[in-house]
Amino acid sequence: MRYQIQGETLPVVICELEAGERMITEGGAMSWMSPNMKMETTSNGGIGKAFGRAFSGEKMFQNIYTAQGGPGMIAFASSFPGSIRAFEIAPGQDMIFQKSAFLASEAGVQLSMHFRKKLGSGLFGGEGFIMQKVSGTGIVFTEFDGHVIEYELQAGQQIVIDTGHLAAMSATCNMDIQSVPGVKNMLFGGEGLFNTVITGPGKVWLQTMPISNVAGALRPYIPTGN
């Protein structure tokens, strides 16, 4: 499989497949394709995994697209202004993504739920109690909100992140929360009550425009019904 990511604000990934190669995506993610791409809708691992994907922000059923009779082409576009990133997944190189980040992948990649080890980090950290874990072998494409900044943390090195800006991290990283110090800072600082703390070793990808922040900024301008 060969691919290219095009576009800036609203990107698309265009995948070129050899005969017999397959891509997995959730329903509605396909944007355009060649006529020899065959689609099959499946629970992809049984009803248990289907429910797990639903809890992690994806649809229960997935679509598998196969290039039949020769090379094929299929494209997946972002659903929100932001970035599409490709990650190479291999044994021992699992990734953790924000909820709903999964866009498409090669057939050897598995998507599942990832629970926060500490309940507090899910209830107060801002990114949600359940995230997405990607394992297996192959390339996975993800969509993030806004531009993406990457950091590599050494063992024990930390970064403090405001609510919603965590896009992805290596599975080797540890996630926790800490309260904003000082009552005055909490009440009047405008940054919320808690921050997410990521501890290395591993890589962290941060997004500049969380969709939750966009929704909050637009809310005062949306008329409410009487």
Average confidence (pLDDT) over 56-64: 68
The pTM of the full predicted model, rounded to 2 decimals, is 0.81
% of the chain at pLDDT higher than 70: 76
Cis peptide before 201 (omega within 30 of 0): yes
Residue 118's pLDDT is 52
Q: Alpha carbon 52 to chain centroid distance?
A: 15
Residue 10 pLDDT more than 80? yes
Measured CA to CA in angstroms, residue 224 lies from 115, 216, 221 at distances of 36, 15, 9
* pLDDT (tens digit per residue) in 155-212: 999 999 987 899 999 999 998 877 766 544 444 444 556 788 999 999 999 999 887 7
- Please check the confidence at residue 51 and state whether its pLDDT lies above 80: no
pLDDT reported for residue 69: 96
Residue extents of the structural domains in the chain: 2-216
pLDDT at 49: 52
The second-level CATH assignment, the architecture, of 2-216 is 4-Layer Sandwich (3.60)
